[in-house]
Amino acid sequence: MTRLLTVILNWRTPDMTLRAAESALAAMQGIEGGIVIVDNASGDGSEAKLRAGVAARGWAPRVRVVQAGRNGGFGAGNNAGIRAGLADGARPDFVYILNSDAFPDPGAVAALIAHLDAHPEAGLAGSMIRGDDGVPHPAAFRFPSVWSEIESALRFGPASRLLARRKVWIEIPEHSCRVDWVAGASLMLRREVLDRVQGFDETFFLYFEETDLCRRARAAGFETHFVRDSHVTHIGSVSTGMRDWRRVPDYWFASRRHYFRKHHGRAGAGAATLAHLCAGGAHRLRCLVMRRDPGDPPRFLRDLARHELRGLRAARPLRDKAKDDAA
């Protein structure tokens, strides 16, 4: 029988995390396995609240709470849950990553398993995501590239149409299909994928980690599929506070830079940033002429350039040391 490990990462949202676990339990009816709730070193009493909540609801041993021991970010926290595994020590056939602010419909988990069972070429599967207002959210994407950086920053109709096949965000597919990557709010992986790619890259603190995971899985021979009939409600940005960002935090820029350098090299990462800065500058100039808001967080382009320059300065001593060592 198929065994499933569901991992839910908590960061200072214990009540919502318990709600997500309750939804996951309902969606796991008839499915062997369990849920691991990982407290990511919240330091606000979350762990005690989670343990008390699990005990009060009589969920043990199907649901257990573990402590990550440090806040290493989304990937590190989920890796801790994957390592903790099932309570009886058995290896799961699938691992399901569920955000603490995401709530699967009753058939959502079974739909992901059924799709992976029916498509052996697929190693990862993501759900159809909607907001708590019922509005569908983008959940299937293309990998970022220099061209996608131009399209997303320029935001000019003719250019967007020309680069339609390069855009990261794609129209929500009408049917289940292969895509480049899917949203990490509801993501199922075969155990074989984890065996091959060794989980999330913990260099990413937050953002780009599921993009990188799907890209490494593809390199290892596994496809990623969007599963239209797996429905999940996702509130979004509860732990990160993204909706209330006044400026984009440094860890977003660090994750973006790490992704591009890892998959496109230093030259490719530099080209992507330069393309974004040039296209973004053109967008702002057009908005200035048309007297409209460019729609970006304050100082976004300036912060992007500053972070890239900081990375170049940090890398220079390492390159000099490598040259000295080789001499």
DSSP string covering 14-39: HHHHHHHHHHHHHHTTT-EEEEEEEE
Q: Indicate if 139 and 277 belong to the same structural domain.
A: no
Question: Which of 323, 286, 281 lies closest to 304, judged by CA?
Answer: 281
Is residue 154 in some structural domain? no
Q: Indicate if 229 and 264 belong to the same structural domain.
A: no
Q: Indicate if 248 and 107 belong to the same structural domain.
A: no
- Provide the number of structural domains found in the chain: 2
Predicted confidence (pLDDT) per residue in 44-103, tens digit: 999 999 999 999 999 999 999 999 999 999 999 999 999 999 999 999 999 999 999 999
Average pLDDT over residues 236-251: 70
Spatial separation of the C-alpha atoms in residues 299 and 64, rounded to whole Å: 43
Q: Indicate if 125 and 85 belong to the same structural domain.
A: yes
Spatial separation of the C-alpha atoms in residues 306 and 235, rounded to whole Å: 32
CATH number of the domain encompassing residue 49: 3.90.550.10
- Is residue 7 pLDDT above 60, yes or no? yes
Is residue 46 in some structural domain? yes
Residue-level pLDDT at 318 = 45
Residue-level pLDDT at 89 = 94
Q: Indicate if 260 and 291 belong to the same structural domain.
A: yes
Which residue segment(s) compose the domain that 29 sits in?
3-143+180-242
Return the HEC string of 148-162: HHHHHHHCCHHHHHH
Q: Indicate if 91 and 38 belong to the same structural domain.
A: yes
Of 242, 258, 273, the last residue of a domain is 242
Average pLDDT over residues 235-242: 62
Of 242, 261, 296, the last residue of a domain is 242
Q: Indicate if 273 and 130 belong to the same structural domain.
A: no
Spatial separation of the C-alpha atoms in residues 124 and 118, rounded to whole Å: 13
Return the number of other C-beta atoms located less than 10 Å from residue 162's C-beta: 13
Question: pTM of the entire structure?
Answer: 0.93
Is residue 157 in some structural domain? no
